[in-house]
Amino acid sequence: MDPAKVLILNQTFEPFQVCSARRAVILLFAGKAERVEDTSRVFRSPSTSFVLPSVIRLHRFVRRPVQPTIAFNKKNILKRDAHTCQYCGRNGGERMTIDHVIPKSLGGRTVWENVVSACRTCNLKKGNKPLAEAGMHLLRRPTKPLSAFYLGILVHAAQRCEGWSKYLPLEADAHAMMGGR
């Protein structure tokens, strides 16, 4: 079956989990969930054919366990930024560097809100200058990911988000939704 991922919404329409298309179809056939968004792809077997879902919603509310805080490290910073240079938008895979938006030499701290993924070219170009002086700007303001759960969902969405985006809260809204953690 299709390896694409499906977004599962809780009964309340909040993002709940990301699962395989196979699991989503099992949930639909078992009557545990309903289709919310479809993909443009159709699964065909000799006996049946159906449109693969992109987003499904659980019929019953499921309480999600409290999410541990996400570790602050290079791997997770790159993950948050989908391995994309936050200055030029280039995807540099594993060869990305981490840049301090406000340079350390100017008092910039090493925190989620001040570090971004940057390609080598942009990192060199920016050097120890503040953004304005370097004549560069950020694709988006860096924030602390809410949890490993959200980071995972955002990474999937960045890669392939057929129909997902309207169910994913903006970072700020999600923060309030999850009790401001």
Q: Which residues bind Zn ion (CB under 5 A)?
A: 85, 87-88, 90, 119, 122
What kind and span of H or E run contains 117?
strand 115-118
Residue 129 beta carbon to Zn ion: minimum distance, rounded to whole angstroms: 15
Residue 24 beta carbon to Zn ion: minimum distance, rounded to whole angstroms: 36
Please state whether beta strands 97-100 and 49-58 pair in parallel, antiparallel, or not at all (unpaired). unpaired
Residue 6 sits at the vertex; the CA angle it makes with 61 and 11, to the nearest 5 degrees, is 15
Residue 176 beta carbon to Zn ion: minimum distance, rounded to whole angstroms: 32
CA atoms within 13 A on the CB side of 123: 16
Residue 130 beta carbon to Zn ion: minimum distance, rounded to whole angstroms: 17
Nearer CB in complex with Zn ion: 134/148? 134
Question: Which residue, 115, 90, 88, is CA-closest to 101?
Answer: 115
Give the whole-angstrom CA distance, residue 176 versus residue 30. Answer: 33
Q: Encoding tokens for residue 52?
A: 């693969």
Site of tokens 């989908």? 82
Residue 119 beta carbon to Zn ion: minimum distance, rounded to whole angstroms: 3
Nearer CB in complex with Zn ion: 87/149? 87
Nearer CB in complex with Zn ion: 134/151? 134
Nearer CB in complex with Zn ion: 66/127? 127
Nearer CB in complex with Zn ion: 141/181? 141
